[in-house]
Amino acid sequence: IILFPHTRLFLTYMRDKIVLQFFPKSFHLVQSGLLPGKSAKTIGLAGRLKEAHKVLALGGAVWIAGDGLQGKEKITLTRFGRRFPFRAGAAELSVQTGAPIIPVFPCLRPDGGIEVEFLAPLVSRYEDIPAAQVEDIVRQYAEIYVNRWPKMLPYLRPGRLGKRLKDLDK
């Protein structure tokens, strides 16, 4: 399970240069585009989760953003004058399937290029308690993400960075 930051700035790059090149079998697990209504959303999400399980069972990769506005909020951290919400979907999928979670963090270079860092898989300290495993993994990712966040876009001018902040809050 590849866990990456939810920003439009990096999404296409992450998909084209990382996921699709290294994992011909891959699935982007998102909640956007589901039909309206609670029942329809539940059915649609169940289908997407089934597909994610299938791809992982075939040795492929599921890529998902652990932050953002979709899904049930599990943990919220407030730093740098803004609120960072984190979702439990990737951690839940990992606990259900045994697939490792690999955090991936891009960083914008001064020349406009992107450097990408793959971190070691997140491992929970709790072995036999699935709910505690999920919370522990989400908390680990949240701490890493928030501490790295200012480094992801260090060369953007303050006005442009402000626009990106607003994009994250949409």
Residue 55 in this model has a pLDDT that exceeds 90: yes
- Distance CA(1)–CA(27), nearest Å, equals 10
- Pair of tokens at residue 16: 């084209």
Residue for token digits 């169940």?
46
- Distance CA(123)–CA(100), nearest Å, equals 8
The model's confidence at residue 57, banded by pLDDT at 50, 70 and 90, is: very high
Q: Which of 6-10, 100-104, 165-169 has the highest mean pLDDT?
A: 100-104
pLDDT value at residue 53? 92
User: Which residue type is seen at 23?
Assistant: F
Listed residue (48, 64, 88, 72) closest to 5, CA to CA: 64
The model's confidence at residue 15, banded by pLDDT at 50, 70 and 90, is: confident
- In percent, the amount of the chain with pLDDT more than 70 equals 84
For residue 83, give the H/E element and its range.
Answer: strand 82-87
Residue 157 in this model has a pLDDT that exceeds 80: no
pLDDT value at residue 102? 93
pLDDT value at residue 164? 55
Rounded to two decimals, the pTM is: 0.80
pLDDT value at residue 68? 63
| 56-77 as b/e: b if 16+ CB within 10 A | beeebbbbbbbbbebbeebbeb
The model's confidence at residue 166, banded by pLDDT at 50, 70 and 90, is: low
